[in-house]
Amino acid sequence: MSGTLILVRHGQSEWNLKNLFTGWRDVALSERGHEEAKAAGQRIKAKGLKPDVAFTSALKRAQMTNDHILDVLGLSSLEVIRDQALNERDYGDLVGLNKDDARKKWGDEQVHIWRRSYDVPPPGGESLKDTGARVWPYYIRMILPRALRGQTVLVSAHGNSLRALVMVLDGLAGDEVAKLELATGVPLIYRLNADSTVASKEILEG
């Protein structure tokens, strides 16, 4: 067995709370989101895991989540690498719209396709496939080598950037990933083999 990946979707954001499409808009965590991030840190600590490096996106909701986790672990001085390759999916023309209002305008089925399908982008935005096109190369180039050196790697990112990554790690097809929902602030623990395949997966739910 080689290294360990800890994947965490950021805690609830202010726009999650308001049921708005967020995408690349840089919004902060809600009060509940701060608590979810701290709880994620406690679950990671309870498993005895200690990251050697942390990766996060260019958006503050993921960065705040990362900071809370590291504070709980007593690792606030840990190396943190930030990159927009790990940003949330760009929702294009939907950004800032209430999801219920979008359903009224375009219909439940169309909005569901935009939100959950693999390769259908919303108007002016990215599909999950497009998101993966920036997440996967970054993972291979920057994150995986650290894990293959036996390190424990924390990745604090977003629902769709992590769905793209989990799709590959779990070997999911496009229709299978459409059903995948990642909860806010719930760590996923992947232990990797030396050949980069997954040896085990654990979800640290409350």
**Single pTM value for the model:** 0.95
SS (H, E, C) 36-61: HHHHHHHHHHHCCCCCCEEEECCCHH
For residues 48 and 111, give the distance between their C-alpha atoms in angstroms, rounded to a whole number. 41
What are the residue boundaries of the structural domains of the chain, listed by start?
A: 6-152+160-203
Fold entry, domain 6-152+160-203:
Rossmann fold (3.40.50)
What is the DSSP secondary structure assignment for residue 105, as one 8-state letter? H
53 and 131 Cβ atoms separated by less than 8 Å = no
33 and 184 Cβ atoms separated by less than 8 Å = yes
**What is residue 163's three-state secondary structure?**
helix
Q: What is the pLDDT of residue 130?
A: 97
What Rg do the C-alpha atoms of the chain give, in angstroms? Answer: 16
Q: What is the pLDDT of residues 108-157, one digit of tens each?
A: 999 999 998 899 999 999 999 999 999 999 999 999 999 999 999 999 99
Which amino acid is residue 138, in one-letter code? Y
Strands 198-203, 188-192: parallel, antiparallel or unpaired by DSSP? antiparallel
86 and 158 Cβ atoms separated by less than 8 Å = yes
Q: What is the pLDDT of residues 12-43, one digit of tens each?
A: 999 999 999 999 999 999 999 999 999 999 99
Q: Answer whether residue 175 shows pLDDT above 90.
A: no
SS (H, E, C) 128-148: HHHHHHHHHHHHHHHHHHHHH
Task: Name the residues annotated as catalytic.
Answer: 10, 88
Q: Which residue has the tokens 């499409």?
A: 21
Show Cβ contacts of residue 206 under 8 Å, excluding neighbours closer than 6 positions. 39, 43, 186
| Structure token pair of residue 74 | 């007593």
